[in-house]
Chain A
Amino acid sequence: AQSVTQLDSQVPVFEEAPVELRCNYSSSVSVYLFWYVQYPNQGLQLLLKYLSGSTLVKGINGFEAEFNKSQTSFHLRKPSVHISDTAEYFCAVSLSGNTPLVFGKGTRLSVIA
């Protein structure tokens, strides 16, 4: 079975500062990796995904993530955050396409002006 650990439940950061949200996963087989964002009172929106190939994945809104197989990590980064990035971020894994997602507990990113 797969599992996902998001190491930080809350991350406060000042506007225009860089941020890294950490995600580690556990699986005995290859997995697909995803980052979703949830704005207040909304559903989840996909930020980026890693299926195979290049380990550096670029997503929407200036976010990127790096897949590290040896460390079983998929950390999310943004070089300069905006107030509008304040949201809950979820890391998730799946065995393949069209299979259920296993989510981490989420990281609440708070951007401070």
Chain B
Amino acid sequence: DSGVTQTPKHLITATGQRVTLRCSPRSGDLSVYWYQQSLDQGLQFLIQYYNGEERAKGNILERFSAQQFPDLHSELNLSSLELGDSALYFCASSGLIGGGEQFFGPGTRLTVL
């Protein structure tokens, strides 16, 4: 158990819909990262938050957004969903010690029908 929790575990929805994925980092970790894992693109970095502020942005679509709340949990919002958004979405967190090792949650599997 990494200490990072993600809900829900599975999500099935239709094209055009909007969903919210939730992540709670390890206790004390200020950084939260979102990654997307798909068969064709592999593991891709989407966005990073550090103590409530956006720190880095990767290959995140404009239809996607995220935020980190004062209690440090994070939400990834995916809107106007397309079939190609079906993927495994991972959240990871890291702290100030340990060389920035990232601890990954179990992921949310999103299926868009």
| Chain A complexes with chain B | yes
| Complex alpha-carbon distance, A49 and B98, angstroms | 10
In the complex, which range does the number of interface residues on chain A fall in?
20 to 34
Q: Which residue of B lies closest to A97 (CB)?
A: B100
- Whole-angstrom distance between the Cβ of A65 and the nearest chain B Cβ: 14
| Complex alpha-carbon distance, A21 and B81, angstroms | 36
Known: A43-B106, A45-B104. Contact between A100 and B99, CB under 8 A? no
Does B74 have its Cβ within 8 Å of any Cβ on chain A?
Answer: no
Contact of A45 among B2, B42, B50 (CB under 8 A): B2
List, in ascending order, chain A residues with CB within 8 A of B2's CB. Answer: 43, 45
Q: Which residue of A lies closest to B58 (CB)?
A: A100
Report whether A43 and B31 are in contact in the complex, using a CB–CB cutoff of 8 Å. Answer: no
A-B pairs with beta carbons under 8 Å apart, 18 shown: A32-B100, A36-B104, A43-B2, A43-B105, A43-B106, A43-B107, A44-B90, A44-B104, A46-B101, A49-B101, A90-B43, A97-B94, A97-B98, A99-B48, A100-B48, A100-B58, A101-B43, A103-B44
